[in-house]
Amino acid sequence: MKASFNINGKVHELEFAPHARLLDLLRDNGFTEVKCGCREGFCGACSVLLDGELVNSCMVYAASVGERKITTVKGIGSIHEPHPIQEAFVEAGAVQCGFCTPGMVLATYALLQRNPDPTDEEIKEALDGNFCRCTGYVKIIDAVKLAARKVKEND
């Protein structure tokens, strides 16, 4: 199959199998910032935004994406121009091995779009699909709170 995909604001014409998952389509075409963890919808390493909503790309068939906009972590900021959320994760020490970080950053982005001033409980709920095996989550919650402040200052 061949179809157009809007990834991080650019249209890409890509070839894929009818049963391919969005995770594989992205990674096979160089978007390796999308990580592959469990492939079962549990860990959140493969998180992307579909029309602004957080989804597990391992649970999405590529053929079903259609014209929806796909955003990976590189779509919100780069190493040279990081998004305030990415800065907050670094400053709060919320990154150890970094495998969960793309998903955590995108989960935070989706949360702050809906709720710029989340409580601790709301942060935990919004990140409930993203596992981190290193940090113990405390620093991640700190990072989300710092990100909320930074995003507000930036606006």
Partner 1 sequence: MEWYFPKSLEELAELLKEEGVFIHAGGTAIKEERIKSAKRVIDISSLPLNYVKKDGDIWRIGATATLSRVMDSLESDHLLVKALKCTATTPLRNRITVGGSVFLSPLWSNFMGPLLALDAKLNVVGKLNGTYSYEEFLSNKAKFQGCAVTEVNFQAGGSTCFFFDRFARTANDYSALTVTLGFSMKGDVVDEAKIVVTGCKKVYERLNAVEAGFKGKSLKAIDPDRLFDDVKLEFADKPAGSGPYLAEVARVLLMRGFDALASAR
Ligand X SMILES: Cc1cc2nc3c(=O)[nH]c(=O)nc-3n(C[C@H](O)[C@H](O)[C@H](O)COP(=O)(O)OP(=O)(O)OC[C@H]3O[C@@H](n4cnc5c(N)ncnc54)[C@H](O)[C@@H]3O)c2cc1C
Binding site for ligand X (CB under 6 A): 41-42
Q: C-alpha dihedral over 70, 74, 76, 80, to 10 degrees?
A: -160
107 binds partner 1 (CB under 8 A): yes
Q: Which of 48, 54, 58, 73 binds ligand FES (CB under 6 A)?
A: 58
54 binds ligand FES (CB under 6 A): no
Q: Please tell me whether residue 105 adopts helix, strand or coil conformation.
A: helix
Total binding residues toward ligand FES, as defined by CB under 6 A: 22
- Among 40-48, 61-69, 114-122, 142-150, the segment contacting ligand FES (CB under 6 A): 40-48
Closest CA to 62 of 7, 128, 127: 7
141 binds partner 1 (CB under 8 A): no
**Length in residues, the chain:** 155
**Gap between the Cα atoms of 12 and 18, Å rounded:** 17
Closest distance of CB 30 from ligand FES, Å: 18
Q: Using only C-alpha atoms, what is the Rg of the chain?
A: 15
Interacting residues with ligand FES (CB under 6 A): 36-39, 41-46, 56, 58, 95-100, 132-135
